[in-house]
Structure 1
């Protein structure tokens, strides 16, 4: 099979021929139909996040959707021909602990498989396994957002815009901070009530929850200044490895700061349900498998709005 393989940090992806994977106990082989490209993949390749990878070389790709083509021993509940997404749990995901979806076939652990509804495309399903799952977990599970919540979103990239759409679908009043004016109209079209450029300007909306999808250090500090007393800040973005927080403001407001990484299988299933009933569509651009490495470079250069998804069909 063909696969885009990471050989070492600091080197570009290399298109190679590899043997087809064989499923072990509790595993299936998935014929990949779509694989999402993530900023984490950029971090793996430039070395800043390579510490997360369990092997080297490795076929990246942790946003996987496809069709089951082979089943290992003791597998129940899934059959050849099933449409599935792989809901990797945090660090335990394809493309991180074993070869992933940037190959034409990959291993899927049965405990991570989520059936894809017939009305949901493979491209949307692939994006839903990370952009959807991570955003849903941050907003709904870690953030506790529901009907009537007043939520602020920091950063309207692939995760932030998806998180905003999910929150709107949950019945929240959503406001956002984003320095790129080019995505402001996209956010408003998705139901975001107001978009500001400076996170501190979110203070006027008396928010009880803020989710920071940017994580550039100063954004979390600004969220502490902007949020209402007794509020909750959920940290998702990791663009910087350190943050400096205003201690007196944090303590005097009696705030809660929560880190949120990835999500659970149940979160992906919830995302697929939102997609199936028409509540959620992730902003995604499809590229052919052959252009996957160039897609990573586009992400690195900041040229992508929403998500990029490599299509294998």
Structure 2
């Protein structure tokens, strides 16, 4: 089968022929229909330190995988050939696709049977890929960690691939959602998901007494977020666009919570799939052919992608 593999820092992925996977105990083979592109793959390709997180090299990248089960291990009873599935991108235990096991930039993918979620009938595989990482990460941050509920005043920082999903989920939960996004050319995404307002800088929210702010960006935005939530309010940090920063600890004395959020659970993915299948959640995304994967990663690195980008591996 064909697979796009990372070989070394600073080099494009290589399209190579590798053996077809064979499922063992507790495993399934998924014929990959779509595989989403992610900024974390850009980091692996271009930053030497990121290479250290990989279990081995060469490695097939890609962790946003949706497809059809084509083979099951001898003891697998919960899945059968022909099942439509999404593959969990951020398992808390075990192996992670594209990091500690071969990933989804390939025609077939070997996965633990326990890491799959059923893809609803009629839901396109491209949205299935979006839900495996961007969707479940956005949902976990605003619902799992943020505890969003009806009537809350919520701020979402960043209206990119994750932020557009998180903002929409907040609206669907009955919250009054406001967005901070410096790129005015994507402000229309905030309007499309039902946000009440958009500003260019979260600093404009200072003293606005938000109940919850979810930061999907992380570019010197943590301090402004903390200043914008009310006494006892909550900030959930998802994005780490700039990993090192400074906050004024005195602001925490107003009993404000600063929480981290990473990935999500299978329940998060199932919830996102249900919202997508109902038509209530329709993230902006675009597709490229499997053969153009390096070109797609280049577009992602240059910041010319709106929403999410998905490679169509097979029809």
TM tier relative to shorter chain: over 0.9
Which residue number in structure 1 is paired with residue 60 of structure 2?
59
Equivalent pair of 1:65/1:126 in contact (CA under 8 Å): yes
Match of 2:229 among 224, 227, 247: 227
Which residue number in structure 2 is paired with residue 34 of structure 1?
34
**Matches of 2:55 and 2:197 in 1, distance apart?**
42
Which residue number in structure 2 is paired with residue 248 of structure 1?
250
**Matches of 1:288 and 1:213 in 2, distance apart?**
28
SS of structure 1 residue aligned to 2:309: strand
Which residue number in structure 1 is paired with residue 276 of structure 2?
275
Which residue number in structure 1 is paired with residue 134 of structure 2?
131
Equivalent pair of 2:159/2:189 in contact (CA under 8 Å): no
Equivalent pair of 2:3/2:105 in contact (CA under 8 Å): yes
Counterparts of 1:146-157 in structure 2, within 5 Å, are 146-157=149-160
1:4 equivalenced with 2:4 (yes/no):
yes
Equivalent pair of 1:175/1:202 in contact (CA under 8 Å): no
SS of structure 2 residue aligned to 1:208: strand
Counterparts of 1:1-313 in structure 2, within 5 Å, are 1-47=1-47, 48-90=49-91, 92-203=95-206, 205-216=208-219, 218-251=220-253, 253-312=254-313, 313=315
Please list every run of 5 or more consecutive structure 2 residues that lacks an aligned counterpart in the other structure. Answer: none
**Matches of 1:309 and 1:204 in 2, distance apart?**
39
Q: CA RMSD in A?
A: 1.3
**Matches of 2:61 and 2:157 in 1, distance apart?**
28
**Matches of 1:53 and 1:144 in 2, distance apart?**
33
Provide the aligned length of Structure 1 versus Structure 2: 311
Once the 2 structures are TM-superposed, how far is the Cα of residue 280 of structure 1 from its aligned partner? 0.5
Deviations 1:66-86 (A, max 9, x none): 000111121111000100000
Residues 90 and 39 (structure 1 numbering): CA distance in 2 closer, same or farther, change over 3 Å?
A: farther
Once the 2 structures are TM-superposed, how far is the Cα of residue 90 of structure 1 from its aligned partner? 4.7
SS of structure 1 residue aligned to 2:225: helix
Runs (4 or more) in structure 1 with deviation over 6 Å come to: none
Once the 2 structures are TM-superposed, how far is the Cα of residue 172 of structure 1 from its aligned partner? 1.1
Once the 2 structures are TM-superposed, how far is the Cα of residue 93 of structure 1 from its aligned partner? 2.3
**Matches of 1:102 and 1:197 in 2, distance apart?**
35
**Matches of 2:46 and 2:138 in 1, distance apart?**
24
Please list every run of 5 or more consecutive structure 1 residues that lacks an aligned counterpart in the other structure. Answer: none
Residues 202 and 49 (structure 1 numbering): CA distance in 2 closer, same or farther, change over 3 Å?
A: farther
